[in-house]
Amino acid sequence: MSQVDRIELELANELLQLSAPFRISGHVFRDSPVTVATLRQGGCTGRGEAAGVYYLADRPADMLPALEAVRGTIEAGISRDELRELLPRGGARNAVDCALWELEAARAGVPAWQLAGMERPRRLLTTFTVGADEPAVMARRAQAYTHARAIKVKLTGELELDQDRVRAIRAARPEVWLGVDANQGYEAQALSRLLPTLVDAGVSLLEQPCARGRESELDGVEHIIPIAADESILDLAELESRGRWFDVVNIKLDKCGGLTEGLLMARHARELGLQVMVGNMVGTSLAMAPAFLLGQYCDVVDLDGPLFLTRDRDHGLVYADGHVDCPENVWGAPGAVS
């Protein structure tokens, strides 16, 4: 590759501020650090944003040195397939993978969705997430999502309180699609007591009830509603080895290492007879835009991350009538230049 064609890699960490604390099982988020990777080549630009995976200690503070260690290989020119071999799954690879997608789109003069071999993206029905709190507080938050057609409820593993949370939100919003996310908070015995409450409340999806590494606890649990893997399945290899315990897999680009791996996972999940969900760590629209493309292949979409921030990017996703849409100028537009 000539010096003119050489890729320039720029790296920066940013601290995104949440508009309010956000609680899930075992964790409270007050801000969200992210790594932004920018690739420049011949007047074209590609960008990617990643938050990493907090429960694996995959954090932006460590992502920068990991990327600096392979800067020379990236700047010498690397394909997305080669990147999958160079870096492990996680946020660092996600940031560069998404930047490579946008750079390739800019160089080719076609949108990223066309590179991915898909039809022009359509707007998607998305869930809107209610963080864990007192039941009455959560019910009010659910009511405040006046445009929402689908709501996801964060649980904490406190059985009776979680039951009250689900009942309160269903009473407040009887018309919406409802899912719950336990974030690894349950053991099998308590889960068996939770499930009838979920059925009575018309809950359509239970996400990650048991701890990562303890998937076998689901062997004796009747799947009276679909059960989704989040923390339990990180990448393509784990989809193959752990998919049998679940009905749905939640693919997050920060977990699997980018849109390239995410698309491979979505296709293989279908081959395994699983439904597919796309989710997100908290991030700006720059992080959501590649996941929006993945969402075109998904049964459940959870891309509400920017709504928890005090400020999004200047060009952002559009939320209206319970749906999310991604204008082309957010990310992946043809001919994007420096």
Give the pLDDT means over successive 10-residue stretches in the chain (338 positions).
Answer: 74 94 76 96 96 94 97 97 98 98 97 97 98 96 96 97 98 98 94 97 98 94 96 98 97 98 98 98 96 98 96 97 96 73
Residue 203 confidence (pLDDT) = 98
Residue 2 confidence (pLDDT) = 45
**Distance of alpha carbon 281 from alpha carbon 305, whole angstroms:** 7
Residue 21 confidence (pLDDT) = 78
Q: With residue 300 as reference, give the H or E element that holds it.
A: strand 300-301
Residue 1 confidence (pLDDT) = 44
Backbone conformation region of residue 117, classed left if phi is above 0, alpha if psi is from -120 to 50, else beta: left
Q: With residue 276 as reference, give the H or E element that holds it.
A: strand 275-278
pTM (predicted TM-score): 0.95
Q: CB–CB of 195/209 below 8 Å?
A: no
Residue 31 confidence (pLDDT) = 86
Residues in Cβ contact with 4 at an 8 Å cutoff, skipping those fewer than 6 apart: 42
**Distance of alpha carbon 139 from alpha carbon 142, whole angstroms:** 5
**Three-state SS for 324?**
strand
Q: With residue 269 as reference, give the H or E element that holds it.
A: helix 259-271
Residue 335 confidence (pLDDT) = 64
Q: CB–CB of 179/206 below 8 Å?
A: yes
Q: Provide the token pair at 149.
A: 């057609």
Long-range contacts of 310-319 (CB under 8 A, 24+ apart): 310/17, 310/18, 310/19, 311/16, 311/17, 312/284, 312/285, 313/284, 313/285, 313/286, 315/285, 316/284, 316/285, 317/285, 317/288, 317/289, 317/292, 319/126, 319/147
Phi, psi of 321 (to 5 degrees): 55, 35
